[in-house]
């Protein structure tokens, strides 16, 4: 029997000034006030898992950061979410337009993303970790202007030539899944990443920024070359807030319920 197709997607959507409160209200309502309609909608359009985080990026603004697992492409899934003409779709589209200034029912406004790396821990290693909480995180980092093509080539070459070393490094930092996308926006390009780990995100990134292994040192050098961000400065470490979490197995979970789940 052929396994069901699952499409992974990570992307950001900007939040207009003074609309962070509206964004929180939207996802609170989706999880509580309209949870029945929202769950039906997500299941109907083939979404298996959906995470939404809030992130403020210095000099760029506020963003919703998404991770989706769906049965169809990102474009098709989002159009079915926002543009089907149902009351739920219209409500989502109207509220997104108020928060982001973008009409998400229009194909030209959908996120433009490209997956450039994907690593998943072997099942036997995940089992060895036992009942340690597995925390899913999503965050975005701006790419330096004009550096996207060189960065993508570097990532792909490194993933191919040093796959064993990278696997060892990720395992040592208790990462069980890392999937990386490049997103093109009107504000420039961004790396958008989903990580499944046993650590809070800031602890993980600071640990990797101070790690003395050769590969971590090379990674820090690459970040300095390609990213418009300095992770060695604590104030620049991505600070994200969970706004929404749902999956077909566990249903809705709140910001106080980042509970272990196995990919």
> pLDDT of 33-83, one tens digit each?
999 999 999 999 999 999 999 999 988 999 999 999 999 999 999 999 999
Q: Concatenate the DSSP letters of all residues of 207-258 into one string.
A: HHHH--SHHHHHHHHHHHHHBS--TTSGGGS--EEEEEEEETTTEEE-TT--
DSSP 88: H
Calculate the average pLDDT of the chain: 88
Instruction: Report DSSP state, residue 71.
Output: S
Using alpha carbons, list the distances in angstroms from residue 220 to 42, 94, 138. 38, 41, 19
262: pLDDT confidence band, cut at 50, 70 and 90? very low
pLDDT at 140 over 90: yes
Q: Across-strand partners of 12?
A: 65
The reported pLDDT for the residue numbered 17 is 93
**Residue 104: per-residue pLDDT:** 95
Return the structure tokens found at 143. 């790419």
CATH number for the domain whose boundaries are 115-236: 3.30.70
Place 254 in a pLDDT band, splitting at 50, 70 and 90. low
pLDDT at residue number 260: 39
Tell me the Cα Rg of the chain. Answer: 18
Pick 112 or 132 by higher pLDDT. 112
Please give the pLDDT value at position 250: 86
Query: pLDDT tens-digit profile of 147-191?
Result: 999 999 999 899 889 989 999 999 888 899 999 999 999 999 999
257 Cα distance to chain centroid? 18
pLDDT at 257: 44
Tell me how far apart the alpha carbons of residues 147 and 150 are, in angstroms, rounded to a whole number: 6
Outline which parts of the chain fall under CATH 3.30.70.
115-236
Does residue 35 sit in helix, strand or coil? helix
What average pLDDT does the segment 114-123 reach?
87
pLDDT score of 110: 96
**Distant-in-sequence contacts of 213-220, Cβ < 8 A, 24+ apart:** 213/169, 213/172, 215/162, 215/165, 215/166, 215/169, 216/169, 218/158
Whether residue 27 has pLDDT greater than 80: yes
Measured CA to CA, the distance from residue 229 to residue 236 in angstroms comes to: 7
Mean pLDDT of 241-252: 92
pLDDT at position 159: 86
Q: What is the pLDDT of residue 212?
A: 87
C-alpha distances in Å from residue 140, one per residue of 81, 127, 137, 152, 214: 23, 29, 10, 16, 25
- Residue 128 has a pLDDT of 58
Where do we find the tokens 């219209």? Answer: 90
Q: What is the pLDDT of residues 214-226, one digit of tens each?
A: 888 888 889 889 9
Q: Is the pLDDT of residue 259 over 50?
A: no
Residue 84's pLDDT is: 87
Q: Is the pLDDT of residue 131 over 70?
A: no
């Amino acid at each position: 029997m052929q396994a069901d197709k699952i499409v992974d997607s990570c992307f950001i959507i900007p939040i207009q000034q003074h609309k962070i409160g509206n964004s929180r209200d939207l996802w609170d309502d989706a999880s509580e006030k309209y949870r029945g309609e929202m769950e039906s909608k997500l299941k109907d359009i083939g979404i298996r898992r959906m995470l939404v985080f809030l992130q403020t990026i210095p000099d760029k603004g506020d963003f919703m950061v998404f991770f989706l697992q769906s049965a169809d492409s990102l474009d098709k899934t989002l159009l079915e979410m926002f543009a089907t003409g149902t009351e739920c779709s219209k409500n989502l589209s109207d509220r997104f337009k108020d928060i982001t200034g973008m009409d998400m029912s229009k194909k030209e406004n959908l996120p433009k993303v490209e997956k450039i790396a994907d690593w998943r821990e072997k099942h036997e290693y995940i089992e060895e970790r036992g009942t340690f909480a597995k925390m899913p995180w999503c965050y975005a980092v701006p790419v330096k202007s004009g550096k996207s093509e060189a960065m993508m080539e570097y990532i792909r070459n490194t993933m191919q030539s040093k796959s064993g070393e990278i696997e060892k490094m990720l395992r040592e930092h208790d990462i069980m899944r890392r999937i990386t996308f490049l997103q093109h926006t009107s504000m420039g390009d961004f790396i958008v990443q989903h990580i499944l780990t046993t650590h809070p995100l800031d602890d993980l990134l600071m640990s990797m920024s101070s790690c003395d292994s050769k590969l971590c040192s090379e990674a820090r050098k690459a970040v300095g070359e390609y990213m418009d961000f300095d992770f060695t400065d604590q104030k620049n470490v991505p600070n994200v807030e969970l706004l929404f979490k749902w999956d077909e197995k566990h249903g809705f979970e709140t910001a106080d319920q980042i509970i272990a789940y196995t990919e």
